[in-house]
């Protein structure tokens, strides 16, 4: 017979062995601060606990002998230790190390403002650029509210830290863009050609930028095109000045996307309602078309094709400054096409490659005439064909450090003709660059690079070293420094006529401090920039120009203090002088103001679905040239200080099945006088103020989208 006892013993054996012991201890971070919420477990069992506020934990377990204890907490590296469990085991003292993620790591920051959705610790989001009131959806106008940029309204481009608009270059997916602005008329700034919605990342560098970019003496505007659309959609826009249609398609497997967009703008009805300073003789019209194709070739691989074409024309008749009582006419007809193809792929083992090519062609026909006066009307025909290829290879070094190198080739065919007089040239430009980001520790990074360039039109080479350092003081704040040499060819209008020129050069030194927290951002920078070999046009074309710029800048952003309000303030102090072009000696140039400030305000009222935005900009008076003064008082006069307030209102609603937004915006709402400078007749007896075509610009529009909610985008568009 079987004895019941051993059987019972047998059955219960597994349970009986489960004698309970208590595991307890305390858990802290490296700095001995207690950690709460840590998940402590005996590996392979349910036994464990969550640590209390003081970092202590205690739990019973039936496990004995050699086991693994694990401790894990969000934001920390999981700890696994071997422990012998059983009676008399000592208390555990566990220490968790923080994981190093993007937020905790230092980044190269001196000189640059970045807007990105992907990176976490940027000061701006792409939306911020496009929701800025008064900018009317123009990237450059929005960036003018940031420190470092001047409020220059009579010429296109970003005038940064004592530099001219041509000293800022625009790059799309790493490749420089020839003719990034539409063709305008003298003394009126033209708009940028590229909509902010084409880009997922925008970096505005006011100096000290990477060796990957060249040919900008002062500044770089670095734009990164979007990848695949989120989903398929259709959109229609009806505006007071025109209309637009768009399609975005995303394939079912979310690997292929394509889209088209077309818009047409005609300002003549608007000009009938709102009087302009000059009389429009050719209705200002603008037709744009763009198409894109995206293919995800692998997990990290992406092929992007982008094409845009535009045509615009306008003509104005104004009072002649030279001949009082007579009229002057100016007409433009511009055609432009741009293609950009880029491909990136990961090659394994930390290697990545980026290939790109772009082509653009720009054709201008300009007509200028003082009616009934000799000389005969001027016909200007200009054409620029710009082709480039670029390769960048990168390699991860260790956990965070990285090496990048590559080269680019550009071929620029420049043709222009004034009546029958031709001035053409072609230029081959090659550049090779390398840089490395070295993380000495996760809190201390250095970037060292250099760029070699050769250009055939100057028959000259240069080597530009660049260096940046950044050190994280605490999780929110960091200090950074940058140094760099920057070279740029003289502008096309000089190269056209004279080849014996050399590169212009600028040396940058920047120191910055920034503190970025969830709702508040503070940044301050001081800089010194030295100009060498600037273009001079007197006594003849030469490279003997000099100059400097130095200053202090502040930026403050607050998204919390006032409910539903987000605002930022920027301030720039600039001290700059230069001797260039026809200047007799070093003097503060006509595009530089001593003090510049902007306030950008955004207010959302959820109960009525209204977005209100306002941008107020201020700049002290700028110098202008008065020929009636002796040479010793060159650029002595100052314009009035500039005040301007841009306002916009958006109302969100649903019309039928379409999400709809109504938009109203006004630039210079208060109608302040905008005095950019003065032009004098050659005898110096008469002068014209340089200012905008009209004190204000009104815009009303309705944008509908089907498929996905694109209303936010529309709000952002103006």
Partner 1 sequence: MKRILFSLMAVAGTIFTVQAQSDQFKDAMKQQIMLIDSGSTWSPAGMQQLANTFERIAEAEKTQWLPYYYAAYCRVNEAFVTENKSKTDEIIDKAVLNIEKAQALKGPDSEISCILSLIASARIGVDPMTRGMKYGPESAELLETAQQQNPENPRVFVLKGQNFLYTPEAFGGSKTKAKEMFDLALKKYAAFKPESDIAPNWGEAYVKELMKQVP
Positions touching partner 1 (CB under 8 A) are 2, 7, 10-11, 13-15, 36-37, 39, 41, 43-48, 50, 72, 74-75, 101, 103, 117, 120, 125-127, 230-231, 518, 606, 609, 652-654, 659, 708-713
- Per the structure block, which two tokens stand in for 37? 């919420």
Cβ closest to partner 1, residue 92 vs residue 509: 92
Cα–Cα distance list, 139 to 134, 194, 219, 672 (Å): 11, 8, 15, 23
Q: What's the DSSP call for residue 640?
A: P
Instruction: Determine the Cα–Cα distance for residues 402 and 394; give it in Å rounded to an integer.
Output: 7
Beta carbon nearer to partner 1, 124 or 592: 124
Task: Tell me if the bond preceding 539 is cis, omega within 30° of 0.
Answer: yes
Question: Half-sphere exposure (CA, 13 Å, Cβ side) for 575?
Answer: 6
To the nearest whole angstrom, how small is the minimum distance from the Cβ of residue 517 to partner 1?
Answer: 8
Helix (H, G, I), strand (E, B) or coil at 45: coil
State the maximum Cα–Cα separation within the chain, in Å, rounded to a whole number. Answer: 134
Name the minimum Å distance from CB 39 to partner 1.
4
- Name which of 401 and 660 has its Cβ closer to partner 1: 660
Q: How far apart are CA 287 and CA 242, in angstroms?
A: 10
Contact between 148 and 158 under an 8 Å Cβ cutoff? The reply is no
The three-point CA angle 409-414-416 to 5° equals 175
Least gap, CB of 138 to partner 1 (angstroms): 20
Closer of 606 and 630 to partner 1 (Cβ): 606
Under 8 Å between Cβ of 413 and 384: yes
Q: Between 46 and 497, whose beta carbon lies closer to partner 1?
A: 46
Q: How far is the CB of 563 from partner 1 (least distance, A)?
A: 14
- Written as one string, the DSSP assignment of 399-466 is TTEEEEEEEEEEEEEEEEEETTEE--EEEEEEEEEEEEEEEEETTEEEEEEEEEEEETTTTEEEEEEE
For partner 1, the closer CB: 145 or 169: 145
Provide the minimum distance between the beta carbon of 131 and partner 1 in the complex, in angstroms, as a whole number.
9
Question: How far does the chain reach from its first CA to its final CA, in angstroms?
Answer: 95
- CB of 123 vs partner 1, minimal distance in Å: 13
Minimum CB separation of residue 398 from partner 1 in Å reads 23
Residue closer to partner 1 (CB basis): 125 or 515: 125
Q: Which residue has the tokens 């003997």?
A: 544
Residue number, 43 or 595, with CB nearest to partner 1: 43
Residues 6+ apart with CB under 8 A from 302: 227, 294, 295, 296, 343, 344
For the bound state, the minimum distance from the C-beta of residue 105 to partner 1, rounded and expressed in Å, comes to 14
Q: Which CB atom, from 427 or from 716, has the smaller least distance to partner 1? A: 716
Q: What angle do CA 255, 200, 709 make, to 5 degrees?
A: 75
Asked if 221 and 175 count as a contact pair (C-beta separation under 8 A), the reply is no
Cβ 237 to partner 1 shortest distance, Å: 17
How far apart (Å, rounded) are the C-alpha atoms in residues 650 and 702? 10
Q: What is the nearest approach in angstroms of partner 1 to the Cβ of residue 708?
A: 6
Joined together, the tokens standing for residue 1 give 């017979």
Return d(Cα 261, Cα 198) in angstroms, integer.
Answer: 11
Phi, psi of 283 (to 5 degrees): -55, 125
Q: How far is the CB of 32 from partner 1 (least distance, A)?
A: 21
Report the SS3 class of residue 277: coil
Nearer to partner 1, 72 or 688 (CB): 72
Among residues 467 and 708, whose Cβ is nearest to partner 1? 708
Q: Which is nearer to partner 1, 482 or 661 (CB)?
A: 661
Output the smallest distance, CB 80 to partner 1, in A: 12
Q: Residue 311 and residue 183: Cα distance in Å, rounded?
A: 10
- The span from the CA of 312 to the CA of 304, in Å, is 27
Residue with Cβ nearer partner 1 (628 or 654)? 654
- Give residue 677's Cα distance to chain centre: 28
Instruction: Closer to partner 1 by CB, 47 or 224: give it.
Output: 47
Smallest separation (angstroms) from partner 1 to the CB of 245: 20
Going across the sheet that includes 56-61, the strands are 56-61, 21-29, 92-96
Least CB distance from residue 617 to partner 1, whole Å?
23
Torsions phi, psi for 104 (to 5 deg): -90, -15
328, 315 contact by CB (below 8 A): no
């Amino acid at each position: 017979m079987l004895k019941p006892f051993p059987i019972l013993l047998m059955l219960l054996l597994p349970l009986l062995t489960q004698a309970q012991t208590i595991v307890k201890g305390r858990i802290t971070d490296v700095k001995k601060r207690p950690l709460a919420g840590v998940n402590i477990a005996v590996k392979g069992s349910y036994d464990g606990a969550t640590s209390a506020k003081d970092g202590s934990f205690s739990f019973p377990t039936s496990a004995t002998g050699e086991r693994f204890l694990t401790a894990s907490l969000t934001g920390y590296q999981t700890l696994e230790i071997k422990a012998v469990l059983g009676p008399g085991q000592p208390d555990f003292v566990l220490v968790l190390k923080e994981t190093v993620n993007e937020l905790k790591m230092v980044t190269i920051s001196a000189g640059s403002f970045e807007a990105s959705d992907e990176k976490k610790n940027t000061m701006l989001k792409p939306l911020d650029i496009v929701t800025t009131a008064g900018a009317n959806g123009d990237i450059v106008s929005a960036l003018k509210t940031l420190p470092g940029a001047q409020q220059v309204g009579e010429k296109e481009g970003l005038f940064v830290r004592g530099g001219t608009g041509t000293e800022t270059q625009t790059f799309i997916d790493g490749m420089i863009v020839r003719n990034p602005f539409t063709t305008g008329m003298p003394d009126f700034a033209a708009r940028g050609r590229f909509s902010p919605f084409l880009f997922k990342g925008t970096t505005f560098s006011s100096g000290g930028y990477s060796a990957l970019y060249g040919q900008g003496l002062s500044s770089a505007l670095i734009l990164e095109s979007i990848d695949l659309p989120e989903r398929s959609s259709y959109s229609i826009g009806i505006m007071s000045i025109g209309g637009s249609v768009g399609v975005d398609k995303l394939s079912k497997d979310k690997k292929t996307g394509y889209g088209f967009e077309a818009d047409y703008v005609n300002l003549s009805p608007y000009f009938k309602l709102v009087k302009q300073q000059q009389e429009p003789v050719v209705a200002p019209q603008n037709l744009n078309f763009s198409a894109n194709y995206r293919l995800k070739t692998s997990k990290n691989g992406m092929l992007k094709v982008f094409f845009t074409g535009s045509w615009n024309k306008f003509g104005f008749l104004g009072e002649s400054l030279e001949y009082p009582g007579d009229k002057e006419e100016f007409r433009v007809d511009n055609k432009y096409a741009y293609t950009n193809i880029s491909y990136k792929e990961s090659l394994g083992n930390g290697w990545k490659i980026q290939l790109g090519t772009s082509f653009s062609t720009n054709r201008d026909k300009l007509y200028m005439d003082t009616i009934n006066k000799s000389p005969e009307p001027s016909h200007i025909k200009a054409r620029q064909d710009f082709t480039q290829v670029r390769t960048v290879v990168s390699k991860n070094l260790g956990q965070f450090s990285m090496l990048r190198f590559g080269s680019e080739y550009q071929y620029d065919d420049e043709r222009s003709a004034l009546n029958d007089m031709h001035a053409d040239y072609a230029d081959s430009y090659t550049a090779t660059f390398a840089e490395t980001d070295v993380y000495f520790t996760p809190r201390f990074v250095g970037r060292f690079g250099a760029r070699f360039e050769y250009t055939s039109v100057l028959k000259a080479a240069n080597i530009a070293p660049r260096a940046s350092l950044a050190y994280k003081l605490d999780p929110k704040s960091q200090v950074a420094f940058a140094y760099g040499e920057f070279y740029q060819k003289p502008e096309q209008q000089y190269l056209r006529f004279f080849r014996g020129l050399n590169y212009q050069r600028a040396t940058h030194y920047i120191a910055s401090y920034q503190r970025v927290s969830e709702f508040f951002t503070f940044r301050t920078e001081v800089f010194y920039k030295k100009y060498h070999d600037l273009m001079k046009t007197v006594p003849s074309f030469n490279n003997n120009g000099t100059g400097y710029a130095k200053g202090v800048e502040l930026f403050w952003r607050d998204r919390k203090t006032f409910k539903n309000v987000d605002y930022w303030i920027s301030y720039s102090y600039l001290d700059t002088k230069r001797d260039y072009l026809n200047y007799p000696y070093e003097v503060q140039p006509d595009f530089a103001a001593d003090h510049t400030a902007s306030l950008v305000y955004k207010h959302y009222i959820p109960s009525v679905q209204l977005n209100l935005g306002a941008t107020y900009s201020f700049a002290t008076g700028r110098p202008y040239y008065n020929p009636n003064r002796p040479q010793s008082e060159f650029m002595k006069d100052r314009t009035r200080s500039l005040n301007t307030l841009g306002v916009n209102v958006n109302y969100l609603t649903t019309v039928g099945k379409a999400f709809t937004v109504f938009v109203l915006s006004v630039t210079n709402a208060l109608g302040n006088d905008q005095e950019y400078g003065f032009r004098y007749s050659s005898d110096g007896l008469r002068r014209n103020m340089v200012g905008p075509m009209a004190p204000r610009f009104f815009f009303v529009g309705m944008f509908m989208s089907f498929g996905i909610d694109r209303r936010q985008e529309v709000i952002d568009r103006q």
